[in-house]
A and B are shown apart, each in its own frame.
Chain A
Amino acid sequence: MPLEKPESKALETRQRFYYSSDRIIEKPFNWAQMARLLQYLKPYAKTLLPGAIIALLIGTAIRLTVPILIGVYAFDRVIKHQDIHGLYWLVGTIAVLYFLSYLSNYFRIRLTNILGQYVIFDIRKHLFNHVQYLSNRFFDSRSAGSILVRIINDVNSLQDLFTNGVINTLTDLLMLCGIIVILFSLSWQLAIAVMLVIPLMFFLSTKFRRKIRRAWQLVRLKQSKLNSHLNESIQGIRVTQSFNQEVNNRAFFDVVNTEVFETWRSATQKNAVFRPFVEMANAIGSAILIWFGAFLIIHSHLTTGIFVSFAFYLGMFWDPISRLGQTYNQLLVAMASSERIFEFLDERPNVRDAQEPVSMDGIKGTIDFEDVRFT
């Protein structure tokens, strides 16, 4: 795509606008900060949290049991012994379990979301109320936009962590451990063979993901530059037209637009490269199951029912691992957001500011443009 040319020669080599887009989106994990964040769960430790955890335990237990029933019991007991009566019992039991699972899922989703939203409500309230009583110096040294971003965007970015993150992580860890234990108790040989892909999966969902994540961060940075410029060019349109700068600005925009395109393309590509590897990791697991499983069955070390159960469990593997990778991302985002939130909360009301002025860097970035008016 050929770039549009500016009218002014000088602008071919010089960017005429500067937009700070260095708002850091992620921070390394920090236990102390995490602990402080989890403090906000405390008021609900005896009310909502236990309910959510019970729902989660029931749901997970059922999801772990059903594959055994459909595999080992259905095939090795009922079908093998042609036990029609047993089949009806089995079907009835599974139906009841599924119904319980339905109920537990309902309560899990409800309770975790209520919990998460209450926590977000509390944090936002705490922050807003605290800010009200901060000194004039605090407000003089910051733009309104930067304060807005903390109360709105930074708190919002904790939302995922508190509504889904914490509970999902528990579920996923439980699930993975449960599957591993069950697989080993069903057939340790096949379990070991199949487990070979787990390190590969973990590698994909952490190392590989990190690259992808970086790429998307770059996209967001470029996008926020583009948005800053759009916002400014709309507000300054009267000056631009008055000084005949339409063509020069189009050339500037073209550069930014192309940057967005390029970073986006590269991020998409990294994302897409991920796919063949995930497919292969899954395929290798299944192939081991088919090949080694068939070998074990033929040599009477394994039953068809266990084989079927294994197939079920293998299908349940990737999701939790992939989600754990995402939770890790969420945590890093939450670290950066909560650091900024705590920075405000640690600001003492009506006390003279410290010697060094607060950095004004990185205040822009992801301001929502809802209801921003130009008058």
Chain B
Amino acid sequence: MDTFRRLKNFYWPHKKYLFGSLLFLLIVTGATVCYPIVLQQTIDKGIKGQNFGYASILAFGFILIMAIKGVAAYFQQYWGNLFGISSVYELRKALYRKLQYLPFRYYDNAHTGDLMSRLTADVEGFRFFLSFGFSQLFNFILIVSFSLVIMFSYSVPLAVVTLLMTPFLAVTVYSFDKKVHPAFRAIRKSMGRMNTRVQENVSGMNTVKAMAQEAKEIERFEWNNTDYKDKQIYTSTLWAKYFPFMEFIGNICVVVLLGLGGTFVIRGEMKPGELVAFFSLVWYIMGPLMELGFMVNQFSQAKASGERLLQILDEPIEIASPENPIETDRLLGSVEFRHVYLKYPNEESYALKDITFRARPGQVIGLMGATGSGKSSITRLIARFYDATSGEILLDGESVKNYSLKTLRKNIGFVQQETFLFSSTIRDNIAYGNPDATDEEIIDAAKRAQAHDFISELPNGYDTILGERGLGLSGGQKQRIAIARALLINPSILILDDATSAVDMQTEAKIQMAFRELMRGRTTFIIAHRISSVRHADEILVLKDGQIAERGVHEDLIQNPNGLYRRIYDIQYKDHEQLKTQQNA
């Protein structure tokens, strides 16, 4: 119950729909049980008593009652649904809001698939319960008690007989439910596995074809396909076993009622109309009982869904703006690290150890080192995507933690290692950080990032829609759009994390040229694997296992024959030098 109490904020404001709906449900159920009564009255009074006037009154009265029932049913159903969808509207809004601010750390460990299933299936499970769960429970109580009252007033023995049949049904329902839910889960899992198999097959089709693996793939899929079919058939067997049996129990009840009731009627102890009424009333009790298992299960599923949603909502946001943040429009761009250590949450070892350096406004810092040496980590700390475990990071002499996140990130143009573009026009992608930018500003940024030429050649130019509509840009083209996106916000600090890895050499050289101009007035961090990208930097930091192994300018670093930088230099320039000597020879 705790789960529902804690989610109260989302549904309780809409309680008027719930109570309104339940109120009308009372009318609907009341009207429903009128049918057997009217039938009984028609047979016992109208027909037996040869009273046509009374039968007419009954007929029109019945239409009237059903008209009321219809209107009540409208409100009951509509408001009940509205209760669910209004609550879920708020819930989704809160979840989305939360997701926007959860720190990187959270997303490092969360799978998109898992999050999506919470946001879709769990939200839906919760909605379903709100929309139907309460009213089903209420309806169950009402219709069973109304029916019992009528039954007892018509014939005590027959009512008792009906009651005696219910435990059999309850046991059957219970045992069905215990089996069917694991079976459904097995189907879902099997479907998930098949999904993964097809996904892997289709996205790895090149390899499949290259290695002539088609037959093998077919065989593997056959297994999944068979498994899914078997799981489905198993579940349907459960249905086949239980459902007709439940119906059979109800029918047996009808037979017993007919035998017993028929005897009573023949003996004159009961009126025929009352017996007929019983044939309807039986199902008003048996029907809801069959659904009882479903209801209980729905409740426990909604509870589990609610818990999974609360997990998201309860997640702490440890990276946020301080109480009284510094807000400035523009930073100068000096960056200083003082004995910075970083251990990622949930990790054993330090990703950064004792990092100390200083970049004056406008300087270019090159970061080199093997994969995993900590280059990206350094830059992530500047924008507070993570917080340092110890040590200090200062921007313009103030700790990064004293700035509002907004100020901080507004001044840092970040081109991340994995390029991500949105399902949107190229224009909107470039303007992502500043949607108010003018077309001139956008084109200017694209030109500087060497993206303007290829964009102009696209049929729709800047209006080309990227993403799932599937225009396939090359990796290098995507990177250039990402660079333009970072340039457009005109940042004081520019961070290029492997931003030109997929760009060809010639274009890279062009970007380099342009960079020198656009780096002016900005502190720039360049992470690269190519010496050529960093050789003009004011300082190059060479990282090894999270520590600064060497530092200095290009000309100094290549002087150290045993140094890491020199080794990289040798590897990258050997061919080059050899080529030169060969040409000279």
Contact = CB atoms under 8 A, between A and B. Distances in A.
24 contacts: A14-B435, A16-B435, A17-B422, A18-B467, A20-B468, A91-B259, A101-B248, A110-B236, A113-B233, A121-B228, A128-B218, A144-B199, A236-B422, A238-B104, A239-B432, A277-B70, A279-B73, A293-B42, A294-B47, A295-B52, A360-B470, A370-B117, A370-B192, A374-B113
B149 interface: no
Contacts of A245: 432-433
Contacts of B279: 70, 312
A70 to B, nearest CB: 6
Contacts of A250: 96-97, 100
A75 B272 contact: yes
Contacts of A364: 468
B89 interface: yes
Interface stretch (B55-63, B532-540, B541-549): B55-63
Nearest to A78: B262
A125 B59 CA distance: 58
A312 to B, nearest CB: 8
A106 B243 CA distance: 8
Interface stretch (A25-33, A204-212, A266-274, A334-342): A266-274
A102 B43 contact: no
Interface in A272-287: 272-273, 275-280, 282-284, 286-287
Contacts of B222: 125
Contacts of A327: none
Nearest to B251: A98
A311 interface: yes
B414 A276 contact: no
Given A245-B433, A290-B42, A239 B416 contact: yes
Contact of B62 (A9, A87, A151, A290): A290
Contact of A148 (B55, B198, B467, B489): B198
Contacts of B262: 74, 78-79, 87, 90-91
Interface residues of B, number: 127
A105 B243 contact: yes
Contacts of B42: 290, 293-294
- Among A91, A103, A273, the one with the most B-chain Cβ atoms within 10 Å of its Cβ is A91
Nearest to B36: A311
A148 B199 contact: yes
Nearest to A271: B77
B61 to A, nearest CB: 9
Interface stretch (A39-47, A129-137, A171-179): A129-137
A269 B46 CA distance: 39
B354 interface: no
B226 interface: yes
Interface string B86-112: 100100110011011110100100011
Contacts of A83: 266
Contacts of A132: 201, 208, 214, 217-218
B191 A368 contact: yes
A276 B214 contact: no
Given A249-B100, A264-B85, 4 more contacts: A19-B423, A70-B258, A88-B259, A368-B192
Contacts of A237: 99-100, 102, 107
Contacts of B221: 125, 128-129
B55 A371 contact: no
Q: Which of B101, B116, B467 has the most CB of A within 10 A?
A: B116
Interface of A is mostly: helix
Contacts of A363: 468, 470
B560 interface: no
B263 A272 contact: no
Given A8-B436, A253-B93, A371-B195, A242 B469 contact: no
A117 B232 contact: yes
A7 B188 CA distance: 42
B435 A8 contact: yes
B307 interface: no
Interface string A59-75: 00000000000100011
A371 B198 CA distance: 11
Given A136-B209, A268-B82, A371-B195, A242 B414 contact: yes
Interface string A235-268: 1111111111110111001100110110011001
Given A294-B55, A370-B117, A109 B468 contact: no
B82 to A, nearest CB: 7
A354 interface: no
Nearest to B64: A283
